[in-house]
Copies of this chain bind each other. A is one copy, B any other.
Amino acid sequence: MNALRHTISLVSLGTFQLVRRTRGPHARGFLLGTGLGLASFSAVTYAHSAEAVDPKVNGVQMNTSRFMAEPITDSKALLGDKENMRHRMEILIMEIQAEFCRALEAEENCGQKFKVDRWERPEGGGGITCVLQDGDVFEKAGVNISVVTGSLPPAAVQQMRARGKNLKEGASLPFFASGVSAVIHPRNPHVPTIHFNYRYFEVETAKGEKQWWFGGGTDLTPYYLCEKDASHFHQTLKSACDEHDPTYYPRFKKWCDDYFRIKHRNESRGIGGIFFDDIDSPNQEAAFNFVSSCARAVIPSYVPLVRKHKNREYGNNERQWQLLRRGRYVEFNLIYDRGTKFGLYTPGARYESILMSLPLHARWEYMHEPKSQSEEGKLMKVLKNPKDWV
């Protein structure tokens, strides 16, 4: 039985974390793109009811309790058509979300847990937003999945045409989008911020043909540069890419450096990683496997850095520098990030899921510039001129 129950207040159910009611209005829009902006909408929160039982199809049982909340798509349907790429992607992002959230919770020294908001979207689909705020290791950590269907307005079709998609101009087209995205802002300035996003997209052309593609990426934003960490991070991503195509890492590393640029300051948000979009070759199976490898590389690329630095001592100078760099993070996300901009301009967007990427605290000082020989200055050199790490 797949009963859903509307939770009225803060409540903890079964194997799930604390669930609370989403306060925003019902959604009317849709979101695409990178970052946490992917398909995020406001809706009331649902959770496993106490009576919920895992579904069984043809004797095969799906253990949904390993996820952060019940899947967006009916579990029987997910199990019933396991070859469907929509379903495979939904199961992948549910797994990635749960594994990442639990890996982060395991690093918290005092047992802080993610809060889980499961929301539905009247036009179709929904999402699960997990946030851990004010932890002792993670100041603000957001991990979001969404699975939405709807109609792509002409402006969005136009944006895709500009990217080279062969879609009819001026038409509204049916679409499906699913993805996982996360931004983790740790408290200790020696632990870097990580962002990742992996997504699958389908759009139906005016002739009724289906186009599909994958996009995504993972990138790191340290406050203090540790070259060994940077190499480990990039090497882990490179290994994930190399399994599939030796040209991927160099191409997607450069794409990442180009994308995460704070243009008005002529500096990068962080030390990069990989970034790609419109992946539809050599075939759907291979593309899915590539995206799976990248998504599964997140934990080994990042969690060792958390463990290594989370208990290091730091003082007020390091904290103030971290807050200044978080101000730069806000600048990038609000001014340049495609997903955030596109999302926020969409009427009825679930802005709480989109803006979950913003840090708990940020700082702006007029004319701040670190000394070039300082640790802060060394980071700036790499942000001004991205370098190769592997």
Contacts and interface: CB of A to CB of B under 8 A. Distances in A.
A217 interface: no
Contacts of A354: 264
B355 A364 contact: yes
Contacts of A355: 331, 364
Contacts of A140: 364, 366
A349 interface: yes
A20 B369 CA distance: 13
Nearest to A367: B352
Residue among A131, A354, A362 with the most chain B CB within 10 A? A362
A96 interface: no
Q: How large is the interface on A (under 10, 10 to 19, 20 to 34, 35 or more residues)?
A: 35 or more
Contacts of A344: 263-264, 335
Interface in A349-372: 349, 351-352, 354-356, 358-367, 369
B365 A362 contact: no
Interface of A: 20, 22-23, 117, 131, 133, 140, 142, 263-265, 323, 327, 330-331, 334-335, 341, 344-345, 349, 351-352, 354-356, 358-367, 369
26 contacts: A22-B367, A23-B367, A117-B367, A131-B366, A131-B367, A133-B365, A142-B366, A263-B344, A264-B344, A264-B345, A264-B349, A264-B351, A264-B354, A323-B361, A327-B358, A331-B334, A335-B335, A335-B344, A352-B367, A356-B366, A359-B364, A360-B365, A361-B361, A361-B362, A361-B363, A362-B363
